[in-house]
Structure 1
Amino acid sequence: MKVMNLKAKTVTIDGISALFILLFVYAALTKVMDYQKFRIELGKSPLLNSYAKIIAITIPGIELLISLLIAIKQFQYYALYLAFSLMAVFSAYIVAILKFSPYVPCSCGGILQNMTWTQHLIFNMFFLGLGVAAILLYPKRPKNLL
């Protein structure tokens, strides 16, 4: 098996980073543009109804912040961990909804709204895999964060 050279690793990491940025910016803007629907659907979730208002405000902000951090090379390595972690949390929520919730709320807005929850979970797992790949391919951990 051939080892990837540094240029190939960089191109792969940059491609994965771009996909995460597109995903998170799109998701955040969709939530912000249809904030009321997003908040109401969160409120219908038996797992999140007590926290719907704060979650509806913070999730788009977190998605945009992670996107910004991924775009800044100095923070990219750590931001990829954040992106992976956020996708893991979203995936755990989907599993909890599918396994334990008597009510399955509307999944999301935008182009992803046509997905079933199972398809959404598979989509998330794909991005989890991309996150792992980017982290493992990262040439070396930056020595100085600031």
Structure 2
Amino acid sequence: MSNRGIYSKLVTLFSILLTILFVYTSVSKLMHLDTFQLRVERMPYIAPYALVISWSVPFLELVIAGLLWFPKYRILALYSSLFLLGIFTSYIIAVLTYSESIPCSCGGVISALGWRDHILLNSSFMVLALLGIIWSKSKKHYKTQTYQDTVQ
């Protein structure tokens, strides 16, 4: 088996893991939407946007999770995953650095994590998304190169 086959399987695995993360977190938020919105309202800097955030974040997570399953949209979904996780991780770091406290707006098992663990978890998923992007792009480059070689 070539390395390209392994990379393709790893990109699929990363997509599955990101899908599980996003479906789990979005369903948890939607099941307890009132609680999620209340917690966002208590968060520094973003409280005025709590209503929009409490609806748009779970919706966006579900859209990204769905797009991860369509090869045509997978790179877009991986970029979106990286972006969403990056924004949230940056926000956590900024609030921990500049604010007195930060309430957790997470649900389920993830809410049991400490903030350092949460940053580590998000960073790990960001690495998976980044590797998925790199390996998906190299796969597309390989397909284009192979096609060009056979046409000439």
TM-score by length of structure 2 reads 0.87
Query: CA RMSD of the aligned region, Å?
Result: 1.6
Match of 1:92 in 2: 90
Letter in 1 for 2:81: A
Structure number with higher helix proportion: 2
Unaligned segments of structure 2, at least 5 residues: 145-152
Structure 1 residues without counterparts, runs of 5 or longer:
none
Provide the secondary structure at the position in 2 that maps to 1:71.
Answer: coil
Which of 1 and 2 has greater Rg? 2
- How does 1:1-146 map onto structure 2 within 5 Å? 5-138=3-136, 139-140=139-140
AA of the residue aligned to 1:15: L
Deviation at 1:118, TM superposition (A): 1.3
1:107 Cα deviation after fit: 4.3
Instruction: Work out the number of aligned pairs and report it.
Output: 140
8 Å Cα contact 1:107-1:117 kept in structure 2 = no
Shift in Å, 1:87: 0.7
- Runs of 4+ in structure 1 off by over 6 angstroms are none
Report the Cα distance in structure 1 between the residues aligned to 2:88 and 2:133, rounded to whole angstroms.
19
SS in 1 for 2:101: coil
TM-score (normalizing by structure 1): 0.91
Aligned-residue sequence identity (percent) comes to 30
1:103 CA drift (Å): 2.6
Q: Is the 8 A contact 1:107 1:116 kept in 2?
A: no
